[in-house]
Amino acid sequence: MLSLSKILLNKDQSIPYDENSLEKLSKIESFIVDTYGTRDPDVTQIFTPSKKLKIKNNFQIDLGFIKDNITSEGVPMDYLPTIIQEVNLNLSECVITSLNPSNEYHILFDQLDLGFDPTNQEYYNRLIGLLLAAKELNRVAKDNHEKMSIIIFLRDDIFNSLKFEDKNKLTQFASTIIEWDVPGSHTLKELIEKRLTELLKEDDNEIIKWENVFNESQLMTGKQLKYNYIIDRTFLRPRDAIQFCNEVIKAHKLNEEKALLVSNKDINDAKVEYSKYFMAELDDEIHKHLPIYENLLEVIKSIGYHQFDMDDFDEAIKKKRFLFKEEISSYESLKNLYEFSIVGYYKAGGSGYGGSEYVFKYKNTRNQFEEGARAYRVHPGLIDFLGLKRATKSKE
């Protein structure tokens, strides 16, 4: 409501509004100003008990049995659950009918994971309410042939943890997974090239390509192109790839060789700093879900290698038993680490093409942990932070 009110109320006077639209805009403005004292209220104050909902003559609300409790100051927030549906219907109708058909409206909600606490049911309830409200307003806009869309960005691990009626329908028909570097999608290279162009172009018509900056004639370890080497150390997220490239450029500027293009040495010099960033990003996402994850990382560090099997993990957990207050399971521990893509498991046969692969959750969030998996690999972006050797632990 509040984000949309800013869009609607800061209307362009050069665009003609019909009388009905102006009336609806006026009702929205009056409702917000009367209730919150400003057209731009603090969202943290919306549902505080000290506030009253001032309806006045803005909306046609059936107050029913609470009518005797209404004063000139408005409806106490204690009574909001009684009339909230009617208030929302009135607001929705005003919003939809006041949209200018010449415009497209996009209302975006992001950073909803800030302050996330998996033990806080109120947080879940607010998210569920937001998702359902967005779904309903999008439906109403579509039914009225209005070009308005409410878009909510949410981490898939948080969305997967929500439980509510019709979630499956919303998932199937009203959601999409943002993916990069998969068939049919955009690539992170395209995004980085746009950033490089803005940073390095000497005229407006110049386009900077990846190969203009990175020396791809010199392959990395494992005969990988630099692009693939960098992307393998991300979660296929723009911010990860951009951060790694930023660290690489810093290293390139400090490189005494002063080569024109980014070299293998520049990338290798950047890995430690990038790995610290990558671990910090992971910490933000995992520490509330899995408080013992740092101790599990200590178990992996004690193994010393980026590839290991279940026996290695069992043995390491026994040696690090003092780190845990309660008995833990190797299987459950590895499953939890897999859910956050800290480790991937070895799957023979690959994806139906005859090969084999290590399966990581971030590459396909629909993949489930394989109970019978015996071999594991740590995500490449964490190898340097954990100080692991790039090899498989040999058996004596």
- The structural domain count of the chain equals 3
Tens digit of pLDDT at every position of the chain (396 positions): 334 444 444 445 445 556 777 777 777 777 777 777 777 777 666 655 456 666 655 556 555 545 555 554 566 666 666 666 777 777 788 888 888 888 899 999 998 887 777 788 888 888 998 999 899 899 999 998 989 999 999 988 788 888 888 888 888 888 888 888 888 888 999 999 999 999 888 888 899 999 999 999 999 988 999 999 999 999 999 999 999 999 999 999 998 887 899 999 999 999 999 999 999 999 988 888 888 999 999 999 999 999 999 999 999 999 999 999 888 899 999 999 999 999 999 998 755 555 789 999 998 887 889 988 999 999 999 999 999 998 777 665
Q: 87 is written with which tokens?
A: 């208030």
Which CATH number is 368's domain given? 1.10.10
Q: Please report the pLDDT score of residue 79 as a whole number.
A: 62
CA dist., res. 242 & res. 265, Å (int): 18
Q: Please report the pLDDT score of residue 352 as a whole number.
A: 52
Last residue of a domain, one of 286, 317, 339: 286
* 32 found inside a domain: yes
Same domain, 322 and 364: yes
Q: How is residue 81 annotated by DSSP? A: H
Exposure on the CB side of residue 159, measured as CA atoms within 13 A: 17
Exposure on the CB side of residue 317, measured as CA atoms within 13 A: 20
Same domain, 237 and 161: no
* 183 found inside a domain: no
* 182 found inside a domain: no
Same domain, 66 and 162: yes
Q: Please report the pLDDT score of residue 99 as a whole number.
A: 85
* 180 found inside a domain: no
Q: Please report the pLDDT score of residue 243 as a whole number.
A: 95
Same domain, 158 and 212: no
Last residue of a domain, one of 270, 286, 302: 286
Same domain, 192 and 274: yes
* 148 found inside a domain: yes
- Domain span at residue 313? 293-392
Last residue of a domain, one of 248, 269, 286: 286
Same domain, 47 and 165: yes
Same domain, 31 and 119: yes
Buried b (16+ CB within 10 A) or exposed e, 350-368: eeeeeeeebbbbbbeeeee
Same domain, 54 and 195: no
Same domain, 26 and 160: yes
Q: Please report the pLDDT score of residue 229 as a whole number.
A: 96
Contact 179, 236 (CB under 8 A): yes
Same domain, 231 and 333: no
Same domain, 162 and 252: no
Same domain, 64 and 122: yes
Measured from the Cβ of residue 172, the count of other Cβ atoms closer than 10 Å reads: 8
* 181 found inside a domain: no
CA dist., res. 98 & res. 210, Å (int): 46
Q: Please report the pLDDT score of residue 4 as a whole number.
A: 41
Contact partners, residue 345, CB within 8 Å, separation at least 6: 334, 338, 358, 359, 369, 370, 373, 375, 376
